[in-house]
A and B are shown apart, each in its own frame.
Chain A
Amino acid sequence: AQKITQTQPGMFVQEKEAVTLDCTYDTSDPSYGLFWYKQPSSGEMIFLIYQGSYDQQNATEGRYSLNFQKARKSANLVISASQLGDSAMYFCAMREGFQGAQKLVFGQGTRLTINP
């Protein structure tokens, strides 16, 4: 069973608009963490934001915030005031448990295009 699902293969947004990238997950472990990474066309993986399953508040990092709905098992990334440089692939990833190697399982990604 797929553990991370990103249902939007591609999204097109006008510059300066806010955008929400969807991520749903599946786990039976009460301890887990959710990560979002950005992959620009140059190919590197850039860490954006993290949300732990026990965190009481939604994570925020500058223009990035995470809309964490635990009961729905969703962890959507919100980018406010989008910029041309936000055009990239975005990956949601989950790790299960707090101990050990904390391996990540990635979704298939969403390609975001910001139009001027």
Chain B
Amino acid sequence: NAGVTQTPKFRILKIGQSMTLQCTQDMNHNYMYWYRQDPGMGLKLIYYSVGAGITDKGEVPNGYNVSRSTTEDFPLRLELAAPSQTSVYFCASRQTVDNQPQHFGDGTRLSIL
């Protein structure tokens, strides 16, 4: 029972580099989300998707892009990495049924140096 799987778990990037954080879920959830968590803070929504081919911005989308070509996968792309993007990134998914909780992956710890 894999749930939400994020890769990689850790990554160090140099300023200006790009990378893609992978997220896949095996629960056939339509709704998927990307959050970032800065040290000592709560989670902030970056992007979300309500189904394949449909994405929308959250609270802090600048510097990121997403795509959703399949129900299972929701990758997050960082272009031109900046130190301000050093954070822990969480992917989550949820059933379409109302009031269901979001299920989170284990997170990706990203450092930009």
Interface residues of chain A, those whose CB is within 8 Å of chain B, are: 4, 33, 35, 37, 43-45, 47, 50, 52, 91, 93, 98, 100-109
Contact = CB atoms under 8 A, between A and B. Distances in A.
Interface stretch (B12-20, B37-45, B66-74): B37-45
Interface SS of B by simple majority: strand
Contact of B48 (A47, A98, A101): A101
Contacts of B79: none
B42 A103 contact: no
Interface of B: 31, 33, 40-45, 48, 50, 56, 58, 88, 90, 92, 94, 98-99, 101-104, 106-107, 109
A80 B31 CA distance: 33
A43 B88 contact: yes
B58 A103 contact: yes
Nearest to B98: A98
Nearest to B32: A101
A87 B45 CA distance: 25
Nearest to A106: B42
A10 B98 CA distance: 32
A62 B40 CA distance: 28
Given A47-B101, A50-B99, A102 B31 contact: yes
A44 B99 contact: no
